[in-house]
């Protein structure tokens, strides 16, 4: 997580998530549209993962901070909260066996994040739980690239 903070510029100040996921998703959508020339499918994947990250943070910690980072190669969504987090084996089970009956059934949110994103990273200590959803950007203009707003449209504000 520290690597994300140090090498990738943050696109906006973190959004404090307390109870309004729709408002935060709209802010994020506008920022993605303004900062990246993305297909609707790529943007939808980022927003879908963000909604699940925010929902988990609200459910298990009561609030959290959502940050959006990006460069010419990747978009990073980083959700940080002070929730209990999960041990690695339970986390893997939640991602790979969503909703199956078992001792650690946690729903489908982490699985949906793993499907929507290209990569996930996790960090947990006694004071912080953080999950990053990472979205790769193509080298050339096929799906999405960084570089500011498209010239053929203005961002929604």
Write the pLDDT tens digit of every residue in 41-95. 999 999 999 999 999 888 888 999 999 988 878 899 999 999 887 777 777 777 7
Residue from 69, 68, 66 nearest 54 by CA = 66
Q: Residue 50 and residue 28: Cα distance in Å, rounded?
A: 8
Where do we find the tokens 């298990």?
A: 60
CA distances from 6 to 52, 76, 77, 129, 131 (A): 25, 13, 14, 18, 16
Residue from 79, 157, 151 nearest 120 by CA = 79
Q: Residue 134 and residue 131: Cα distance in Å, rounded?
A: 10
Specify the range with the lowest mean pLDDT, choosing from 65-69, 102-106, 108-112, 122-126.
102-106
Q: How many CB atoms lie within 10 A of CB 79?
A: 26
The β-bridge partners of 133 are: 77, 120
pTM value is 0.78
Asked if 101 and 110 count as a contact pair (C-beta separation under 8 A), the reply is no
Q: Residue 81 and residue 66: Cα distance in Å, rounded?
A: 9
Q: Residue 157 and residue 146: Cα distance in Å, rounded?
A: 19
154 band by pLDDT with thresholds 50, 70 and 90: very low
Q: Across all residues in the chain, what is the average pLDDT?
A: 78
Residue from 1, 12, 28 nearest 85 by CA = 1
Note the pLDDT tens digit of each residue in 137-146. 876 544 455 5
């Amino acid at each position: 997580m520290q690597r994300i903070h140090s090498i990738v510029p943050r696109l906006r100040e973190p959004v404090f998530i307390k109870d309004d996921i729709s408002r935060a998703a709209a802010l994020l959508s506008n920022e993605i549209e303004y900062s990246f020339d993305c297909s609707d499918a790529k943007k939808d994947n980022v927003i879908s993962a963000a909604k699940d990250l925010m929902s988990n943070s609200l459910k298990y910690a009561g609030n959290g901070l959502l940050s959006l980072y990006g460069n010419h190669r990747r978009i990073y969504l980083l959700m940080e909260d002070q929730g209990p987090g999960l041990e690695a084996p339970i986390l893997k089970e939640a991602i790979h066996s969503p909703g199956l009956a078992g001792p650690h059934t946690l729903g489908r949110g982490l699985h949906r994040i793993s499907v929507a994103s290209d990569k996930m990273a996790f960090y947990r200590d006694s004071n912080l739980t953080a999950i990053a959803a990472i979205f790769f950007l193509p080298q050339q203009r096929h799906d999405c690239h960084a570089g500011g707003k498209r010239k053929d449209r203005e961002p929604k504000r």
